[in-house]
């Protein structure tokens, strides 16, 4: 678990509640992202929180094998630019999986990331993503 805070993180800027003023380290939470590791050491990143850089640094992560975006809210997608370092360590583009609407939003906001890779002497100037469409189920309550 890389982050479990709400869309503004915890503590929330300017909030006066007891949780946001707590000294308990469990009440200092980055925004939501998770890495799932499975057999063979493959890693899937679910969502790219705006806190992604800090999350990877804190956990000592440098690479993932694919990304899944659950939806297009900023707190789940706006760390996408930080994937340039992942491309550097992979030395290859990265597949990003989501439903058609979320991928459309990602392309609108981060069009440069879906362009052909741009490197110079091993330096990745932008994230390099390959969109893969999938159907993401909706829970019924």
Question: In this predicted structure, what is the pLDDT of residue 8?
Answer: 84
Question: In this predicted structure, what is the pLDDT of residue 43?
Answer: 96
Report which of 88, 73, 80, 78 is spatially closest to residue 113, judged by C-alpha positions: 80
Side-chain-side CA neighbours of 111 within 13 Å: the count stands at: 1
Question: In this predicted structure, what is the pLDDT of residue 54?
Answer: 93
Residues of the chain with pLDDT under 70: 119, 121-123, 136-141
State the Cα–Cα distance between residues 6 and 29, nearest whole angstrom.
8
Question: In this predicted structure, what is the pLDDT of residue 91?
Answer: 86
Are 106 and 131 a contacting pair, CB within 8 Å? yes
């Amino acid at each position: 678990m890389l982050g479990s805070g709400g869309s503004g993180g915890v503590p929330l800027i300017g909030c006066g509640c007891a949780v946001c003023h707590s000294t308990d380290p469990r009440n200092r939470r980055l925004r939501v992202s998770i890495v799932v590791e499975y057999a063979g050491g493959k890693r899937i990143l679910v969502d790219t929180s705006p806190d992604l850089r800090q999350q990877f640094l804190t956990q000592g992560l440098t690479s993932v094998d694919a990304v899944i975006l659950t939806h297009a809210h900023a707190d789940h997608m706006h760390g996408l630019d930080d994937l340039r370092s992942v491309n550097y360590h992979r030395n290859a583009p990265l597949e990003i999986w989501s439903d058609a609407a979320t991928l459309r939003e990602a392309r609108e906001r981060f069009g440069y990331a879906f362009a052909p890779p741009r490197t110079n002497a091993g330096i990745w100037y932008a994230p390099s993503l390959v969109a893969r469409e999938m159907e993401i189920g909706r829970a019924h309550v």
